[in-house]
C-alpha cells in the first residue's frame, strides 16, 4: 500500500542532504509500501552527506514492479548509512531516473525495526469516507486482524499422518530459515519438539525473490478431514437481498483466512516438517480443503441480521434504498467487523458506487445485468487470419449448434474458405457470417445463468500466442452451457515460455478469472495436456523438483477443490477457439499475469557457482545435445527419442524447464559439455571423496552420466587414492573335511625350475 508525502521537496530537504536537490534524479526504493510524512520527521534521520559525490551508483540489472503492475527500471543503487532511533544499518538505496516520490521498502522496515508510522495520502478523499476511517480505525488499519472465535477441524480418520521433511537445496536453506523466523515473530507458527502429524513444505520462490513456505496438505490431512457441509449462498438469494439499492459498497477482507485462529486441538494437525524441525500453525494455513465452507459460516454468523448485506467468502456487498440507509447499513457492517476483530483490505474496497460487479453480474439501481465481460471473449473475438484460426472458431460454434436452427446456412461463407481449392479471401459475406455467429454465441439460448446447485466444468487451453478458458455448467439434462468465458494474448515475456508452462498458465488464468464462481466449490478442470493432469492432480503432492513457476501455480491451485480431467485437443473446442482468437491485453494488472521479471532458484546459486549463467546460456546454445533438448522443452517432445543421451533427458522431461535460457532439471542446472571439466574441478577441489561429491552435485547441477564422471575424476586423483580407505579384507575360507580318501585333489602350479645342471647345459649350447 502506498502513502505519498505531502511535499517531495520538503521530504528531500529534511531527510537527505542538499546535494540531492541539485541532482537530476529523484529517489525510489524496492518493494513499494509506504512513505513518510511531516509527523514522522522527528523520529527518522537519514545521514547521507554528499552521497552522490562520494558514492558510485552500482549498475545492477534488475526490473521492479509496483503494486499497480507498472515496471520500474532502476539505474542502479548506492549503499547508505541509515539511523532510526537506536537502530543503524547500511542499506541499498535504488535510484530511478525521473522517478516518483521517495519510497521505503520492507527490507528497510525490517532492518530498522520500524513498527508503526503515521502516514498521509495526497488523494482527495470523500469526507464521509474519511469520517468512517476515523470512526473505525482498527477495521481500516490493514494487516492481520484476529477473529473473536477459533476454527476447528474434524477428522474422519484419526490415524495421524507424518511425512518427513523433503531434501532442501543448500542455496535455499538460509532463505527458508529466515521466513520461518519471520512467521514465528508474527505469531503465525511456533516450534514443537515432536508431532504425530507432519506435512512437508514446498519453498516457493516468489517473483520478487522472497520465499513462501507452503505445506503440501494434499498428501496429508486433506485426506483425513471431514467435509464441512455448509451451503454457499445461492445467486438468486444474494441478488434478492441487494435489489432496490441506490448505491453499493464492496468490502474485501485482508488475508481473510489468516485472521482466524485455530482451536487448540486443531493446531497439531497443521504441523509442517522442515530441515530445522517441526512447526505448528496458530492461524488457519493456506491449502486446507474444508476452510472455505468454515469461513463462510463464520462470516454469515458475524453479519447476520444486517439488512441489504450479503457475503460470499471474503467479499461483502452492502446497499440501501437511499444514501442514509446505505450509510446506516455500512456502519453496522463495520461495527460488526470491529467487534469480530477483522480488518479489510483498503486497496480492494469500493465505496458508494453507482454500480458494482459481484459474482459475475453488474448491479445498479435499475436491477441486475449480465456482466459484459463474461462474453467479451466471444463477442469481441478478432477476425480469423488463417484457416487454423477459422477451424477453431467453427469448432466452438458447432459445439453449441444444438441451441440454434438453420446454422449451416449462416456459416456457409465460412465453410467455403475451408475448401482446399479456395484461396483465402475474407469477404464481406464472411464478415457478416462471423459477426452473426458471435451474436448467437453470446445470446440467451447459449449463455446460462450461474446456478450454485449445478456441476461446474472449466475448460482451458493455450496456443502459441494466447490463452482461452470457458466455464460451463451441466444441467439436469446433461447438456453443458457456458456461464462465462475469457481470453487474452500472451505478453512478451510469456511468449518465451515452454509449451508446458503456457498450458499451466492457461489453467491459472482460467481459475483466477472465475475465482468467485469456483472458490469453495468442487469443479472439473479440463486440459489437453496430460502431464499437467498428474502434476496438478488431486492426489498428487506439489512437485519438489518442478520449476519455480510451476510450484507457484501448484500452491495457488491447492486452495481450490477440483478434479482434473484430460481431454484430447480435438475435443477441447471451446477453450481452443478462444486461445487462437485471444483478446488483446487492455489491463496489464490481470490477476493471473505474473511479473515479467521472474526471480528463480538460479539467482540464489549463482554466487556459489564456478560458472555464470551467461556462460551456461551461451554454451547451451552451442551444445548439439542440449540445444536439441532446449527445442524439445520449448515446442514439445516427440513420442520417443533414439540415442541414450537423449533418453536421459526424455525420462525427466516433465521436470525440465528453461530459466534465463538455461536448462534446469528441478533445482539443478544442466551444465553444457564444454563447462563440465571446470565444474568438476571446483567440485573436487576439497578432495572430499566420491560420495560427498555426489551429494554436493545433487544440490546444484546435473548432466547425463554425471555419477560416472564424478567417479572417474576422483579415481584419477593420486591424493584421493592415497587417502582412500583400505579395501575390506576377504574372509578366510576353510575347506570342508573330506568324507573319504581321494575325495578331493588340490593342484597348484609351479614355474620352471632353473637348476644348476640346466644352466650349465644352456651355457654349453
User: Which H, E and C letters describe 641-685, residue by residue?
Assistant: CCCHHHHHHHCCHHHEEEECCEEEECCEEECCHHHHHHHHHHHCC
Q: What pLDDT score was predicted for residue 386?
A: 82
Q: What pLDDT score was predicted for residue 5?
A: 33
Element (H, E) at 431: helix 428-441
Task: Report helix, strand or coil for 631.
Answer: helix
**Chain centre distance of CA 306:** 37
Task: Report helix, strand or coil for 272.
Answer: strand
Q: 288-303 pLDDT, tens per residue? A: 888 888 888 888 889 9
Closest CA to 530 of 494, 568, 563: 568
Instruction: Considering only residues 588 and 227, tell me which one the structure prediction assigns the higher pLDDT.
Output: 227
Task: Report helix, strand or coil for 130.
Answer: helix
Q: 274-287 pLDDT, tens per residue? A: 989 999 999 988 87
CA atoms 559, 564, 568, 572: torsion sign: negative
Strand 199-205, strand 189-192: pairing = unpaired
- pLDDT bin (cut points 50, 70, 90) of residue 18 is very low
Q: What pLDDT score was predicted for residue 98?
A: 62
Q: What pLDDT score was predicted for residue 13?
A: 33
pLDDT > 70? residue 764: no
pLDDT > 90? residue 333: yes
Q: Mean pLDDT in the chain?
A: 76
* pTM attached to this predicted model: 0.59
208-212, 564-568, 592-596 — most confident range: 564-568
If you ran DSSP here, which 8-state letter would residue 217 be given?
G
Q: What pLDDT score was predicted for residue 406?
A: 64
- pLDDT bin (cut points 50, 70, 90) of residue 371 is low
pLDDT > 70? residue 748: yes
Q: What pLDDT score was predicted for residue 282?
A: 92
Element (H, E) at 428: helix 428-441
Instruction: Considering only residues 52 and 184, tell me which one the structure prediction assigns the higher pLDDT.
Output: 184
Q: What pLDDT score was predicted for residue 34?
A: 32
pLDDT > 60? residue 443: yes
Closest CA to 242 of 325, 314, 301: 325
Grid cell 525495526 — which residue?
A: 113
DSSP 69-81: S-EE---EEEEEE
Exposed / middle / buried, residue 55 (Cβ in 10 Å: 0-12, 13-18, 19+): middle
- pLDDT bin (cut points 50, 70, 90) of residue 312 is confident
- pLDDT bin (cut points 50, 70, 90) of residue 19 is very low
Q: What pLDDT score was predicted for residue 328?
A: 92
Residues 8-18: what's their mean pLDDT?
33
End-to-end CA, the chain:
109
- pLDDT bin (cut points 50, 70, 90) of residue 3 is very low
- pLDDT bin (cut points 50, 70, 90) of residue 593 is very low
- pLDDT bin (cut points 50, 70, 90) of residue 541 is low
Q: What pLDDT score was predicted for residue 655?
A: 76
3-state per-residue secondary structure call for 699-746: CCEECCCHHHHHHHHHHCCHHHHHHCCCCCCCCCCCCCCCCCCCCCCC
Q: What pLDDT score was predicted for residue 545?
A: 54
Q: What pLDDT score was predicted for residue 417?
A: 83
Q: 625-652 pLDDT, tens per residue? A: 999 988 888 777 888 888 888 889 988 8
Say which residues have a Cβ less than 8 Å from residue 164's Cβ, sequence separation at least 6.
Answer: 198, 200, 273
Q: What pLDDT score was predicted for residue 269?
A: 92
pLDDT > 70? residue 527: yes
Q: 681-711 pLDDT, tens per residue? A: 888 888 888 888 888 888 788 898 899 999 8
Task: Return the percentage of the chain with pLDDT > 70, whole number.
Answer: 74
Task: Report helix, strand or coil for 453.
Answer: coil
Instruction: Considering only residues 212 and 574, tell me which one the structure prediction assigns the higher pLDDT.
Output: 212
Angle of helix 548-557 versus helix 499-513 axis, rounded to 10 = 30
- pLDDT bin (cut points 50, 70, 90) of residue 762 is low
Q: 422-438 pLDDT, tens per residue? A: 788 888 888 888 888 87
For residue 545, how many other CB atoms are within 10 A of its CB?
A: 16
Q: What pLDDT score was predicted for residue 608?
A: 58
**Chain centre distance of CA 107:** 22
Residues 37-41: what's their mean pLDDT?
36
How many C-alpha atoms does 519 have within 13 Å on its Cβ side?
18
Q: What pLDDT score was predicted for residue 79?
A: 82
Lowest model confidence (mean pLDDT) among 96-110, 142-156, 173-187, 502-516:
96-110
Amino acid at each position: 500500500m502506498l502513502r505519498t508525502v505531502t511535499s517531495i521537496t520538503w521530504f528531500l530537504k529534511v531527510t537527505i542532504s542538499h546535494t540531492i536537490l541539485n541532482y537530476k534524479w529523484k529517489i525510489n526504493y524496492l518493494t513499494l509500501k509506504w512513505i513518510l510524512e511531516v509527523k514522522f520527521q522527528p523520529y527518522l534521520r537519514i545521514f547521507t552527506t554528499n552521497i552522490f559525490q562520494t558514492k558510485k551508483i552500482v549498475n545492477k540489472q534488475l526490473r521492479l514492479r509496483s503494486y499497480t503492475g507498472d515496471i520500474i527500471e532502476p539505474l542502479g543503487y548506492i549503499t547508505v548509512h541509515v539511523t532510526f532511533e537506536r537502530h543503524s544499518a547500511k542499506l541499498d538505496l535504488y535510484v530511478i531516473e525521473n522517478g516518483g516520490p521517495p519510497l521505503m521498502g520492507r527490507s528497510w522496515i525490517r532492518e530498522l525495526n520500524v513498527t508503526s508510522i503515521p502516514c498521509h495520502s495526497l488523494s482527495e478523499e470523500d469526507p464521509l469516507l474519511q469520517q468512517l476511517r476515523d470512526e473505525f480505525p482498527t477495521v481500516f488499519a490493514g494487516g492481520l486482524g484476529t477473529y473473536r472465535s477459533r476454527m476447528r477441524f474434524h477428522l474422519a480418520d484419526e490415524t495421524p499422518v507424518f511425512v518427513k521433511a523433503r531434501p532442501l537445496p543448500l542455496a535455499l536453506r538460509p532463505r527458508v530459515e529466515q521466513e520461518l523466523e519471520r512467521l514465528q515473530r508474527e505469531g503465525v507458527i511456533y516450534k514443537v519438539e515432536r508431532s504425530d502429524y507432519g506435512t512437508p513444505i514446498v519453498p516457493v520462490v516468489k517473483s520478487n525473490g522472497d520465499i513462501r513456505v507452503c505445506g503440501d496438505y494434499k498428501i496429508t490431512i486433506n485426506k483425513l478431514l471431514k467435509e464441512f457441509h455448509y451451503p454457499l449462498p445461492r445467486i438468486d438469494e444474494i441478488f434478492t437481498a441487494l435489489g432496490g439499492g441506490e448505491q453499493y459498497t464492496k468490502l474485501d477482507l485482508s488475508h481473510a483466512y489468516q485472521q482466524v485462529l485455530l482451536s487448540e486441538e486443531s493446531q497439531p494437525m497443521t504441523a509442517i516438517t522442515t530441515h530445522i524441525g517441526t512447526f505448528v500453525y496458530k492461524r488457519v494455513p493456506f491449502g486446507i480443503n474444508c476452510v472455505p465452507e468454515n469461513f463462510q459460516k463464520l462470516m454469515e454468523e458475524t453479519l447476520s441480521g444486517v439488512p441489504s448485506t450479503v457475503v460470499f467468502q471474503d467479499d461483502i456487498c452492502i446497499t440501501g434504498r437511499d444514501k442514509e440507509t446505505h450509510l446506516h447499513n455500512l456502519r453496522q457492517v463495520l461495527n460488526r467487523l470491529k467487534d469480530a476483530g477483522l480488518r479489510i483490505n483498503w486497496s480492494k474496497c469500493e465505496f458508494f458506487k453507482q454500480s458494482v460487479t459481484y459474482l459475475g453480474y453488474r448491479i445498479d439501481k435499475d436491477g441486475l445485468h449480465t456482466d459484459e465481460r463474461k462474453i467479451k471473449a466471444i463477442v469481441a473475438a478478432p477476425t480469423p487470419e488463417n484457416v487454423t484460426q477459422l477451424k477453431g472458431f467453427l469448432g466452438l460454434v458447432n459445439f453449441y449448434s444444438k441451441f440454434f436452427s438453420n446454422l449451416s446456412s449462416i456459416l456457409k461463407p465460412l465453410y467455403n474458405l475451408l475448401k482446399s481449392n479456395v484461396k483465402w479471401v475474407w469477404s464481406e459475406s464472411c464478415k457478416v457470417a462471423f459477426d452473426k455467429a458471435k451474436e448467437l454465441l453470446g445470446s440467451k439460448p447459449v449463455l446460462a445463468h450461474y446456478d450454485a446447485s449445478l456441476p461446474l466444468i472449466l475448460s482451458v487451453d493455450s496456443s502459441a500466442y494466447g490463452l482461452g478458458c470457458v466455464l460451463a455448467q451441466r444441467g439436469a439434462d446433461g447438456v453443458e452451457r457456458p456461464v462465462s468465458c475469457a481470453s487474452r494474448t500472451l505478453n512478451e515475456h510469456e511468449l518465451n515460455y515452454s509449451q508446458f508452462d503456457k498450458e499451466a498458465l492457461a489453467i491459472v488464468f482460467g481459475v483466477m478469472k472465475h475465482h468467485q464462481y469456483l472458490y469453495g466449490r468442487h469443479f472439473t478442470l479440463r486440459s489437453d495436456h496430460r502431464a499437467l493432469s498428474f502434476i496438478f492432480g488431486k492426489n498428487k503432492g506439489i512437485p519438489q523438483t518442478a520449476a519455480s513457476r510451476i510450484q507457484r501455480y501448484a500452491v495457488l491451485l491447492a486452495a481450490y477443490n477440483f478434479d482434473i480431467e484430460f481431454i484430447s485437443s480435438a475435443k477441447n473446442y471451446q477453450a481452443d477457439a478462444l486461445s487462437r482468437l485471444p483478446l488483446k491485453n487492455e489491463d496489464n494488472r490481470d490477476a493471473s499475469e505474473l511479473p515479467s521479471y521472474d526471480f528463480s532458484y538460479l539467482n540464489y546459486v549463482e554466487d556459489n557457482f564456478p560458472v555464470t549463467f551467461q556462460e551456461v546460456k551461451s554454451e547451451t546454445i552451442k551444445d548439439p545435445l542440449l540445444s536439441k533438448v532446449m527445442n524439445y522443452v520449448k515446442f514439445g517432445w516427440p513420442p520417443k527419442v533414439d540415442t541414450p543421451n537423449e533418453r536421459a533427458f526424455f525420462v525427466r522431461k516433465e521436470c525440465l524447464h528453461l530459466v534465463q535460457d538455461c536448462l534446469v532439471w528441478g533445482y539443478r542446472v544442466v551444465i553444457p559439455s564444454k563447462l563440465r571439466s571446470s565444474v568438476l574441478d571446483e567440485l573436487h577441489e576439497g578432495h572430499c571423496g566420491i560420495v560427498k561429491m555426489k551429494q554436493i552435485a545433487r544440490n546444484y547441477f546435473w548432466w547425463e552420466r554425471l555419477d560416472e564422471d564424478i567417479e572417474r575424476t576422483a579415481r584419477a586423483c593420486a591424493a584421493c587414492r592415497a587417502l582412500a580407505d583400505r579395501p575390506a579384507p576377504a574372509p578366510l575360507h576353510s575347506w570342508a573335511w573330506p568324507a573319504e580318501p581321494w575325495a578331493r585333489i588340490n593342484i597348484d602350479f609351479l614355474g620352471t625350475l632353473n637348476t644348476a645342471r640346466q644352466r650349465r647345459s644352456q651355457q654349453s649350447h
